[in-house]
Structure formats: structure tokens, C-alpha cells
Amino acid sequence: GDSVTQMEGPVTLSEEAFLTINCTYTATGYPSLFWYVQYPGEGLQLLLKATKADDKGSNKGFEATYRKETTSFHLEKGSVQVSDSAVYFCALSELAAGNKLTFGGGTRVLVKP
């Protein structure tokens, strides 16, 4: 079945540092890929997505590129802020499976001033 693996946290950074969270996947078909974020005390929010190979999703300074050859969807941000402290989830879905999401384990990111 489908699965998503992402780096374990917590990841602790200083403000303005570069952030990378690795995410790799296995899928039976051709999935869409997502990054969701959960800020403290809030629900899951879609951060960005990509639906086909080589697509780049971007939002709020975050980027991730759909790499089919390496089955990866790594999340990056060039200069993090304290407000980026959250838990980040990589996920995939397949239309043939009713679009149910398969999540990675989540990576907690803490940005210190």
C-alpha cells in the first residue's frame, strides 16, 4: 500500500535559518502530494501541493518540488520565522483511492528568536 516517510523531529532552528524537511513516498499509482501544517492549538491547514511530476508547490515562502524519479517531495524555506513553529505533515492521495490522504509521521519545527 501507499506510505509516506518524513524526517523525525523535533527540528530546532534560529530565526532566518534555512529549513529542509525531507519526505519520500511509495505509491501504487500516480499520487498528488501535499504538505499540511498544524500550528499550536489549531487544526491542519494545507500549506502547498503538487499534482504531477516536476510541479513546484509554494506558499508563505515554503516550496516543494514533486520528484518522481526520487519519489520525494522535500519542503524548504529559505528564512524561517518564529511564527513558522508548527508540526509539518507530508501526505499523498490518489484519485483511484477516493482521495484519502496517507500521512507521514509529522515533523515538529521550533524556531527560536
Among 40, 69, 70, 98, binds another protein (CB under 8 A): 98
13, 111 contact by CB (below 8 A): yes
Among 104, 107, 109, 111, binds another protein (CB under 8 A): 104
Compose the 4-43 pattern: x for residues touching another protein by CB under 8 A, - for all others.
Answer: x---------------------------x---x-----xx
Q: Which is nearer to another protein, 75 or 91 (CB)?
A: 91
Strand 23-26 relative to strand 86-93: parallel, antiparallel, unpaired?
unpaired
Restricted to residues 47-86, the positions that interact with another protein (CB under 8 A) are: 49, 51
51, 34 contact by CB (below 8 A): no
Question: φ, ψ for residue 84 (rounded to 5)?
Answer: -85, -5
Q: Which is nearer to another protein, 17 or 55 (CB)?
A: 55
CA 37 from chain center: how many Å? 8
17 in helix, strand or coil? coil
CA 51 from chain center: how many Å? 14
The residues of the shown chain that bind another protein, judged by CB under 8 A, are: 4, 32, 36, 42-46, 49, 51, 89, 91, 93, 95, 97-106
